[in-house]
Amino acid sequence: MQGSTGSSAERFVAADVGGTHARVALVQTDGDRAIDVQAYRKYSCAEFPSLTAILADFVATQQHDGTDRMAIASAGLMLDGRLVNSNLPWQVSLAEMRRELGLRDLHVINDFAAAAHGAGRLGAGDRRLLTPGVDKVVSGPMLVVGPGTGLGAAVCIATAHGDVVLPTEAGWPAFAPVTPREIEILRWMQRGNRHVAVEHLVSGPGMANLYHAICAIDGVATRFATPAEITNGARAGDAQAGDTVLSFCALLGSAIGDLAAITCAGSVHVAGGVVPQLVDFLPHSDFRARLVDKGAMRPLLERVPVWLIENERLGVLGAARWYQQHLGEHPEETTIN
C-alpha cells in the first residue's frame, strides 16, 4: 500500500505480537489515509528473551525517524503497567519497554481489534471466499475471528465518524457439544477442568486437545503433536487425524455461526491461525452446515459471506490503522482496547 511523503506524513513502528511470531513494520501514513509499509520483519518469539529485544533488533536495522513511536497489537489485558497474556513466552512491562527503547509514544491495542481495523484495508486478492456462492455483504457489523494460539474475535461497526471496533474474549464461553461424539470429547476434556472453553478445542492448541481426546476415546496411541502434523496425518489417511481435522472444521463453523448470530454480522473475516492449513478440508466437512445451523437465525446466516484473510501483515496494518485514526489524541497514553 503506497502513501505519499507530503507534510502530513507520519512514520512509526507497528507490530503484531502473537504467542509464536511477532511481526514488526516501519510504516508511513499520510493525509489520504494510505499506509505505506517501508520495512517489515517476522520474528520467532522463542528465539528472543523479551519483546523489547525483538523491537530493539528491528529498530537497529532502521535508518529512519519514527522508531520512537510504536503501536503494538497483542492479545491480553493491561494490569499495573504489564501486559498479561498466558500465550506469550515472556512478561511485558510497558515502563521497561519505554525506558529501554527510548520511546516517546507507545500504545498497546487488542490483537483482534487491530485485525478488525486491518480487515477493512484489504483488497480482493488478500482473501479467499469460504462460502461459495455467498459473497455479498449484508447489513450488519463486520466480524473478524481467528483460531490461533487462542480464539480471538472483534466486531467492527462502520460509522460516519470512522470505524468503531469492539474487541471480545470469544474464546472463553463454554464449549457446547452438538453430536454424541462431541459429548464424549467434552467429558474427556472435563477430567482436567470442569470449564472447557471454546478455544480449548477451536484453536491451534485446541486441535491438539481434540486429537488427544479422539485418540483416547478410540483407544489408540497418539502419533502427532502439532496442527501441521495432524493435518498432514489426515492427508496421509490416518483415521484419528482425519476425524480430528473434520471435527475441528465442524466446531469452527459452529463457533463462527454462534458469534455471527450474537453480533448480527453482515460479513465474517477469518484471520489466519490454523485455518490456512484446512482450506482443502473445509468443503468436505460440516463447516458450512454447522455455521448456519442456528435455528431461527438460519435464514440470516445463510446470507452471510465468510472470507479467509490471506495476508500475514493484517495485524500490522490494523495496528497502523488504529494509530492513524487516533494520531494526536493523548500521545502519552498507553492503552489496550
Domain residue spans of the chain: 10-116+313-326, 123-309
d(CA 313, CA 162): 22
Q: What is the DSSP letter of 174?
A: B
Q: What is the DSSP letter of 210?
A: H
The confidence band for 332, taking pLDDT boundaries of 50, 70 and 90, is very low
Report the range of poorest mean pLDDT among 31-35, 140-144, 294-298. 31-35
Does the pLDDT value for residue 309 go beyond 60? yes
Closest CA relative to residue 10, chosen from 59, 57, 71, 84: 71
d(CA 165, CA 153): 11
Q: Check residue 69 and give its pLDDT.
A: 93
Give the SS3 label for residue 230.
Answer: helix
Q: Check residue 3 and give its pLDDT.
A: 38
Q: Check residue 86 and give its pLDDT.
A: 67
- State what percent of residues in the chain have pLDDT above 90: 66
Cell triple for 60:
537497529
CA dist list (Å): 172 to 151, 235, 290, 323: 8, 30, 20, 28
Does the pLDDT value for residue 272 go beyond 50? yes
Instruction: Share the mean pLDDT of the chain.
Output: 89
Q: At what angle do helices 180-189 and 204-218 cross, to 10 degrees?
A: 100
**215 contacts: CB under 8 Å, gap ≥ 6:** 221, 222, 240
User: 54 phi and psi, to 5 degrees?
Assistant: -65, -50
Q: Check residue 192 and give its pLDDT.
A: 86
The confidence band for 92, taking pLDDT boundaries of 50, 70 and 90, is confident
Mean pLDDT, residues 119-129? 86
Mean pLDDT, residues 228-234? 97
The confidence band for 4, taking pLDDT boundaries of 50, 70 and 90, is very low
Q: Check residue 23 and give its pLDDT.
A: 95
Query: CA 136: distance to chain centroid?
Result: 23
Does the pLDDT value for residue 76 go beyond 80? no
Q: Check residue 8 and give its pLDDT.
A: 52
- State what percent of residues in the chain have pLDDT above 70: 92
Mean pLDDT, residues 117-146? 91
Tell the CATH topology of 10-116+313-326.
Nucleotidyltransferase; domain 5 (3.30.420)
User: Which bin fits 328, alpha (ψ -120 to 50), beta or left (φ > 0)?
Assistant: left
Cell triple for 282:
473445509
Strand-pair partners of 41: 24
Report the range of poorest mean pLDDT among 176-190, 298-312, 315-329. 315-329
In the sheet that holds 92-93, the strands lie side by side as 77-79, 82-84, 92-93
**28 contacts: CB under 8 Å, gap ≥ 6:** 3, 5, 9, 10, 11, 35, 36, 38, 66
What CATH class does 123-309 carry? alpha beta
Q: Is the dihedral of CA 128, 134, 140, 143 positive or negative?
A: negative
Rg (CA), the chain: 20
The confidence band for 34, taking pLDDT boundaries of 50, 70 and 90, is confident
Mean pLDDT, residues 155-167? 88
Mean pLDDT, residues 88-98? 85
The confidence band for 210, taking pLDDT boundaries of 50, 70 and 90, is very high
Does the pLDDT value for residue 77 go beyond 90? no
Exposure b/e, 273-301, CB count within 10 A at least 16 = b: bbbebbeebbeebbbbebbbbbeebeebb
Q: Check residue 159 and give its pLDDT.
A: 87
d(CA 142, CA 155): 6
Q: Check residue 35 and give its pLDDT.
A: 87
